[in-house]
Structure 1
Amino acid sequence: MAVPEVNKEMLRELESMGFPTARATRALHSSGNVSIEDAIDWVAKHENDPDIDQMPLVPISIEIESGKPPFAIQEVKIKAQELRRRIKRVKEEEEKKMEREREKERRHSGKELLEAKRIQEENERKRALALMMKEQEDVKRARERILKRLNDDKAERRRQLGLPPEDPSTKKITTPLQNTQGSSALNFAAMAEYLRECLRSLKQNHRDEDARVKRAFQTLLTYIANVAKNPDNEKFRKIRQSNPAFADRVGSMYGGIEFLEMCGFEKLKLNGSEFLYMPRDKVDFEVLRIAALELNSALSNPYFGMLSRRKDEYR
C-alpha cells in the first residue's frame, strides 16, 4: 500500500486554500484527480467522515490518472468562497435561533421574578398591616387599663370620704383628665402618673425612633404651652388632625392624640374635617402645668421610658 499519486499543482493549490495535506490528497484521489472544483465538492460532502484527515492508501499497482488540465484557479477560489459563505450563513442562522431561544428564556425568567417580587411585596404589606392593627389594639387596651385605673381610684376616694358609690346611670362619660377643676392633690398625682405612662407608652411603641419621639414630645409641649399662655385664643385650642405637620409629628405616633385628650382636647368633626378641640371652659391650668412638667422630664431624662414603676401593672 502506498499514498496515491495526485496532481501536485492542484494539491499545492488546495493546501494554499487551507486544506490539510491528507484531506486534500484524499479529496483529489476520491474525486478522480480531475479538478480542484470536484475535490472541493467532495470535501463539502464528506467533511464529517471520521477518516477524512487520514492519508489515503492504495495498492502500489494502481496508477493515478493525471494530465487533465486543472480547473481555472479563479473559479476555484470563487467556489471556495461560496462554500465558506454557505457555512457562515448556516452558523449565523444557528446563532440567531439560539439567541431567540435565550431571549424567550430571559422573558420567562423576568416574568417569574416580577411575580415573585409582587408576592413578596404583598406579603410585606399584609405583615405591616397586621403589625399596625396589633399595635393599635395594644394602645387601645392600654388606654382602657388607664381609664379603669382612674375609675378605681375615683371609687376608692369616694369610699375613703364616706360617699356612696357613683350611680352608673348618671355617670357622665369624659376623657380621663377633663373636668378637674378643684381636684385634690391626690387626684393631680394620679393624673401625673397617667400622663407619664402615656408618654412612656409612646416612647416604647417607637423605641427605635428616638429622633421622632423627641420631636413628638417637643411638639406636644408646644401645643400645651400655647394653650396655657393664650387660653382665650381659639386657634391654639383647635388642631386639624389632617394637618400634615401634626399628622407627621404627633398623629402618626401611637399615644400622641391620647396624651392631648388627657390634657382636655376633645375630638370634633366640623364641615367634614376632624379636629382636636379644647373648649374654653375645659382649660385646666393645673393639668396643663403637670403635662408640661412630664414632657420636660421626658425630654431631659435619657432613661425615660426604659424602666416603668408600673411595668407589671400595664404589661
Structure 2
Amino acid sequence: MAGVSLKCGDCGALLKSVEEAQEHAELTSHSNFSESTEAVLNLVCSSCGKPCRSKTESDLHTKRTGHTEFVDKTADTVKPISLEVPKVTASESEEAVGASRQAEEMVVPEVDKKLLEELEGMGFSIARATRALHYSGNASLEAAVNWVVEHENDPDIDQMPSVPVNTKVEAPKPSLTPEQLKAKQQELREKARKKKEEEEKRMEKEKEKERIRVGKELLEAKRMEEENERKRIVALRKAEKEEEKRAREKIRQKLEEDKAERRRRLGLPPEDPSTAKPAAPVVEEKKSSLPIRPATKAEQMRECLRSLKQNHKEDDAKVKRAFQTLLTFVGNVARNPDEEKYRKIRLTNQSFQDRVGSFKGGIEFLELCEFERVEGSEFLFLPRDKVDMAVLNSAGSELDSAIKNPFFGVL
C-alpha cells in the first residue's frame, strides 16, 4: 500500500504532504522522514466545522468549547504520497526551479514593533505575537489579543508566520501615540470599572432582597409566636373561668346540702323545689357578677406599658426611649438596692419629664414597682424595706419585651 503520510523519525509527527515535512524540518531541524500508511486524521467538529488532526487536538477542542460530536473525514482527504523524485521534462524542471526559488524566498512579515514589544511584555511568545499582529492587520493591541484568544488552539499558533518576499506587504498602521495609548488604556479601565460597579450593584440588590426576605420571615415568626402566646393566655383564662365555675357550683351544692341538713335538724319539712326555683336566677345573676381573679403585678405592668404605647403611638421613638429610661431606673435599683440615689427620683427634673414624666403611664409604672411620692409630691422614693427583687425582675422582663417585641401594644 502506498504511503498516505510522512512520519518524522525524530519526533513521530505525522505530516500530510512534502510541504508540511519541509516546514517541519525548518522549524525543528529534523531530517529523518519516511512514508507511512497511517493517515493524518481529519476530525471535523459538527458544531463549528473546525478540523482536528489528532485525537489529542479534538480532546482539547472539546475541553475548550464543549463540542463533542466530530465527523471523521480522514478517508475523503487521503492521497498517496511519495518521497521518490519524479522524472520531469526540461520545461517542468525550470518551472520547479522557479517555484522552489519562490518557495525559498519566504520571509517573516513586518509588524508594528511597538505593538510587538507590548505583546511580549504581556507574556506572549514572539512567534505568537508576530502571527497575531500579522493576521489582525497590525490594527491594535486589543485586536491582536482577541485574535490570540480565538486561535489559541491552532496547531501552528507558536510557529513564526512567513510570506513570499515579493508579496506586497501593506504598510502597518501607525502605532498609537503615547497620548492615544494612555486614552485607550483609560477607556479600558473605565469600562472595567463600570462593569465592576454594575456587578457590585447587582450583588447588593441580591443581598438586599435576601435581607428583606429574612426580615419578613423573622417578623412572621414573631407574629406567629405572639399569636400563639395570645391564644395560650386566652385558653388559660378560659380554663380558669371553667375551674372557678365548677368551684362555685360545688359551693352552691354544699350550701344547699347544709340548708337541707339544718331544716332536717329543726324538724322543718324539706324545701319545696317549686318555691326554690324562682330564687335560682337571682343567685345565678349574683354569681355572674363575681369579678375574675385579680390581675397579677406583671399583668398590671404589661397593661400599663401597653396603655402608654397606645396613648403615644404617633411617636414610636419617644415611647421606646421612655421604656429604656424606665428599664435604666429599675436596673439601677436591682443592681444597687442599698444606694439611696438610685431609689430617689426628682419629678421636676426636666430630663425625667421629657423622657418619662410627660407620658401618661410612666409614673404609674414606677409606682407599680413600689415607688412612692414623698416631700410634697416632689420626689418618687422607693424605701429600702420595700425593694422586692421579684417585682423588679418582673418589671425588667416586661420592659425588655416591650422594647424588643415589634408587635407589643398592637394587638
> What's the TM-score once normalised by structure 2's chain length?
0.34
Structure having greater relative contact order (Cα 8 Å, sep ≥ 6)? 1
- What is the TM-score of this pair, normalised by structure 1? 0.43
Greater Cα radius of gyration, structure 1 or 2: 2
